[in-house]
Structure 1
């Protein structure tokens, strides 16, 4: 059988924003003014240092402050301007926005978000399927734009836990109902390489190679944290 001809690839670096005071406790959503805290700023600076030697052709971010600040730390390190794309913004959680996660876990919708997220629509907000569609469509658009201008482009998108999990699920060929099986920690790096034939998921939830969190707590919930949680550190 003849080999498939080589074609230019596009490499996407997916970065979740760094920690904020709300991360893992409150579903911030589109709440304005949620900035990186001291821990998040340190995470973003460390990620920028890790990626300083990588030639990036673009840095794209969600418009929310915590993502813009994370993306800017990387952009400063690599010398590339930041572009904002609202399609990479957080899921619009509607009436869930700003509420404690422990309280939301008692809502009737919570089990649907866990087991059947493709059917979950947040009251007064959007569905997870709509979030996934806009984010994956944005990736396709940026891939085409950059491929037209660069040879084998590499670019970074800074976004949110659920958004990144949806993009990874698409790249893995998973139904959205399986996306809760993925974990995306604050300031983690995931990598997808798109080729003419298929995407390759190169890296998922890379937080720098440390071993913290490899041994789970004695009691570990099977629920995925809506919004992504605060990580295992």
Structure 2
């Protein structure tokens, strides 16, 4: 599968799924619709990693074959700005580093016991 995907990433069809070209077309159409509906507004789009990569590749003018060379972590933030002429990429793969906290039943976020 990987060899066929690498040979023609845009038209390789994943088992029971879409080609990357179809994913790109679907993602770009959805973003166009969102941008039209919210012209002049800031919009937050939450997505899986695949569609996020496709959107970033398109914004940077890179081919779909570069998809797996673009690292995106789960829960990461990327920021794009779109105007009538182009898309500008301001941020890619920002993650929030925190020490984390184990939360157990009966505790709220301040560490206080809940009834």
TMscore range, shorter length: 0.7 to 0.9
Match of 2:78 among 180, 190, 195: 190
TM-score normalised by L of structure 2 = 0.76
Kept in 2, the 8 Å contact 1:119–1:129? The answer is: yes
Unpaired runs of 5+ in structure 2? 99-115
Match of 2:94 among 176, 187, 206: 206
Max Rg structure? 2
Kept in 2, the 8 Å contact 1:188–1:207? The answer is: yes
| CA-CA distance at 1:115 after TM superposition | 5.4
Kept in 2, the 8 Å contact 1:192–1:202? The answer is: yes
The aligned runs of 1:117-156 (5 Å cut-off) are: 117-147=9-39, 152-156=40-44
Match of 2:52 among 152, 159, 164: 164
Unpaired runs of 5+ in structure 1? 1-108, 211-233
Distance 1:113 1:157 in 2: 27
TM-score normalised by L of structure 1 = 0.39
- Say which SS state the counterpart of residue 78 (structure 2) adopts: strand
| CA-CA distance at 1:114 after TM superposition | 4.1
Distance 2:45 2:31 in 1: 9
Q: CA RMSD in A?
A: 1.7
Kept in 2, the 8 Å contact 1:112–1:119? The answer is: no
Name segments (4+ residues, structure 1) moved above 2 Å.
Answer: 111-116
